[in-house]
Amino acid sequence: MARKKTQAAGKAAAETAVKSTEAEAAGQAEGAVKAPAKSAARKTAKRPEIKTEISVQYMGKDISGKDMVTMVKKDWTGKKNKIGDIKTMELYVKVEENMVYYVINGSETGSVAI
């Protein structure tokens, strides 16, 4: 009879040990899953955009970046295009030629005099 009690106590202790080990493993697994989520949230946080102002001065002329963009938009719409079609705009200023060359959406090119 004492032997049966000892075996029963041993089984209960073994079951308790298994359950606590499973719980610890589950807790560690949950902790491991949560940690990357926090670091991913940090990486996707946006930084505030830096506000810039560009001005080109050459031989008594002074033209701002905003003025160049306005001139390019006016030239773009004069060619029967819409402002809403512009996704990207690259400007190249050649002061010795008094010209602003532009590339719209990576393929459409043109130029305006400054």
Give the closest residue to 100 by CA, choosing from 108, 91, 109. Answer: 91
Q: What is the pLDDT of residue 45?
A: 74
Q: What is the pLDDT of residue 87?
A: 95
Q: Could you read off the pLDDT of 38-79 as tens digits, one per residue?
A: 555 566 678 888 999 999 999 898 999 999 999 999 999 999
Share of residues in the chain with pLDDT > 70 (%) = 61
Give the closest residue to 72 by CA, choosing from 37, 45, 112, 44. Answer: 112
Work out the number of other CB atoms within 10 angstroms of the CB of residue 68: 20
Q: Is 104 exposed, middle or buried (CB count within 10 Å of its CB: 0-12, 13-18, 19+)?
A: buried
pTM value > 0.75: no
Is the separation of the CB atoms in 100 and 93 below 8 Å?
yes
